[in-house]
Amino acid sequence: MSNRIYNILFHTHTISGIFISLALYVIFFAGSFSFFRDEINSWERNEPLVQGWKMSDMHFDRVIDSLKTNDTLVNRDISFNQYYDEQRLSLSISPAKNLEEKGPKRRRRGTFMYLNTQDMKTYDYRSSYSLGEFLYRLHFFAQLNFYGRSGYLLAGIVAFFFLFAVITGVLVHWKKIISNFFMFRPKASIKNLWTDAHTALGILGLPYQFIFALTGVYLIVGTTLMSPAFVKFLYEDNIEKAYDDFGFNPPSYALSGENLQSKFAINPFLKQTKEKWPDFDIRSAHIFNYGDQNMHVKFEGKSDFDRKFASSGSITYKVSTGEIVSEENPFKDVSYIDGSRAVLQRLHFGDFGGIAVKLIYFIMGIVTCFVIISGVMIWLVARDKKHVSPAKRKFNAWLVWFYLAGCLSMYPVTAFTFLMVKLGLQDPSADRVGFIFQTYFWSWLLLTLIFTFMRNNTLTNKYTLILGSVLGLLVPLANGMVTGNWLWVSWASGYSDIFLIDAFWLITSISALLIGLKIKTENQRPIIADRKVLNPSY
C-alpha cells in the first residue's frame, strides 16, 4: 500500500469515526442493554415469564371469547404477534370489512392493544410502555422521529459510517494487525497508551463490530425505505402497493358475504400445526374474515435455533373445509431471501443462544464503547501540539469534555431511571411514556452539563462510575422493597428473568465501584499540556 493511499485511509477512518462517535456510543450503550429487553420488562412489571410458555400454548378461542364482550369481530382480521419473550403479546383487530369495497383503499384505523396471556388484561401502547422498550428504541434514535422516520435515518447514516470506519481501520492496521494486538505500553506516552488500547480492543471486537455495522445498515435501510418520503416519491403515496412489493402485507382474502353455518374453533388448527411440526416456534397467528364463509387461519414462526439456525415458515387453513391452502415448511423450504433475512436478524438481536449469548454480546458492546472513547482520546492527544493554535486547542478540549460527559453520564442516568421506574411507576394510571422520557433525558442533560463544566476528564470518569454504581446498588434493593422479589426469592421461585436484572446491577455496580475508587485524581498530567491555553483546573 502506497503512503498516499495509507494516508487517505487513515484520515478517512479518523474523520468518519469522530463524526459519528457520540451517536455511535449511544447506539452501543443503549443497544447493549437492549439485549435484555425482555428481562427488563419482566423485572419492571413484576411479570415473570412462565418457563417454557409460547404462543403455541395459548388458548385462542378463550381469548377471542373475551374480546367478543367488547365488540363484534365478524368480518374483521385478527392478528396475534409475540415479538418478544414476555407475558404480553400484541393484538391487532382490523376495521370491519365491507363487501362492496373495491380497489385499494387508504389504510383505516383498527384496534391495537397488548394482551397479558396470564390474566387476559389488555393495555394500550402508552400504558404498556416500558424502560426496556425505551432503551431498545433509543439505540436506533426512534425518539427523534419528529417527521416520518428521521431518527431511523440518522441511525442508518451512523451505521453506514461505522461500517466504513471498521473496514478502513482494518486496512490501516493490516500489516501490523498481529503485532499491534499484543502491544501494550502503559508506561509510555498517553498517546501510545490510548493507541494500544484502541487497537487491541478494536481487533478483539472486530467480528462483533463488523456484524453489527452490517446488520445495522440492513435493518435501518429496510425501515427507511418504508418512510413516507420514499413511498410518496416512488409509489405516488400508495403505501398498500409498497407494502405488497416488499412483502410486509399479509395475504388478502375476499369476503363471501355468508356467515359460517357450523361452529368453528381456532385451537384445533393450532393442535394440527403442532402435530405436523413439533419443533415449530409459532410467533404470529392471523385470522382473516372472522365468522365469514371464507375465513382463513394462518400461523407463522420459525424452528428452534438448535434445530435450524435460520428459518421461516407458515401454514394457512381454510376454516370451512379444514384444508391447507398454503404451506411454507420452516425445516425444508426456506427461500434464500427468508434465510438471509433470518440470519441477519438473529445475528443482530442475539436471540439464538439464551442468556450466555446475551451476556457475551453485552460485554462486547461495552468493549466497543471503550474503543469509541479511546479513538476520541487519540484524536485529542494527537492535537495537543504546540504548533496548533490556542483557539483550536481550546475548542478541541471543550469538545471532548462535552463528549465524555455525554457518553459516560449514560451509566448513572440508566441506573437512576431503573431506580425511579421501580419506585415511581407503580400506579397503573401513570403516564409511563412521559415519566420515562423526562426522567432519562432531563437527568442526562443535567449530568452532561455538570461534568462538561468541571472540565476534567479524569474526574468525569471517576464520578460517573461511582455515582452509577451507588445508584445501581439501590436497584435490587428497591425491587425487593416494592415487590418482595428479593434476589433469593426470585432465585427460589424460578424467576430467572427478574433475578438476572437484580444480579446484573449488583455485580456491575460492585465492579464499576471498585474501578472508580482506584482512579487517581492527583498528579494527573493534563491532556492539553499548555495550561496557559485554557487556564482550567485539571
How confident is residue 532, by pLDDT bands cut at 50, 70 and 90?
A: very low
How confident is residue 151, by pLDDT bands cut at 50, 70 and 90?
A: confident
pLDDT digits (tens, 9 = 90+) for 157-202: 888 888 888 888 777 777 766 666 666 666 666 666 667 777 777 7
- At 222 the pLDDT is 64
- At 537 the pLDDT is 40
pLDDT digits (tens, 9 = 90+) for 205-222: 888 888 888 888 888 766
- At 29 the pLDDT is 95
How confident is residue 491, by pLDDT bands cut at 50, 70 and 90?
A: very high
H helix runs in 53-93, sequence order: 60-68
Per DSSP, 188 falls in state S
Distances (CA, A) of 271 to 47, 57, 121, 134, 452: 27, 10, 25, 36, 60
Regarding pTM above 0.75, the answer is yes
Say how far apart CA 386 and CA 323 lie, in whole Å.
81
Which of 129-143, 232-246, 315-329 shows the lowest per-residue confidence on average (mean pLDDT)? Answer: 232-246
Whose cell is 373475551? That residue is 66
Cell of 447: 449530568
Say how far apart CA 274 and CA 284 lie, in whole Å.
14
How confident is residue 109, by pLDDT bands cut at 50, 70 and 90?
A: low
Within 8 A by CB and 6+ apart from 236, the residues are none
